Amino acid sequence: MLMERGYGVMPAEWVVKETMSPGFSRIYFLEKGEVWYEDSVSTKRLTPGHLYIFPSHAPFSIWHNPQSPIGCLWCHMDLFPTMVTELVEVPIRDNPELYHLSAAFYYAVVHTREEEPYQQALANTLVAFFYKEGVFAQPDPKASGWIRYIRDHCTDNTSIEEISRQFGYTPEHFIRIYHEKVGMSPCQYRIHCRLNLAIGLLKSSLSITDIAKKVGYSELKSFSRAFKGHFGMSPEQYRKRDFSRA
pLDDT in tens, 17-31: 988 778 789 999 999
Q: pLDDT value at position 47?
A: 97
Residues of the chain with pLDDT > 70: what percent?
Answer: 98
Long-range CB pairs of 206-215 (<8 Å, 24+ gap) are: 208/235, 208/236, 208/239, 211/235, 214/155, 215/154, 215/155
pLDDT tens, residue by residue, 161-172 = 999 999 999 999
Secondary structure class of 124 (helix, strand, coil): helix
On whether the CB atoms of residues 232 and 19 are closer than 8 A, the answer is yes
**Exposed e or buried b for every residue in 78-96, given b needs 16+ CB within 10 A?**
bbbbbbbeebbebebeeee
Query: For the chain, what is the radius of gyration of the CA atoms?
Result: 19
Tell me the pLDDT band of 212, cut-offs 50, 70 and 90: very high
Average the pLDDT over 107-130 and give the result: 86
Q: pLDDT value at position 186?
A: 92
Torsional sign, CA 159, 231, 184, 200:
positive
Average the pLDDT over 178-205 and give the result: 87
Compute the mean pLDDT over every residue in the chain, rounded to the nearest whole number.
Answer: 90
pLDDT surpasses 80 at 244: no
Compute the distance between CA of residue 193 and CA of residue 222 in angstroms, rounded to an integer. Answer: 15
Q: pLDDT value at position 164?
A: 94
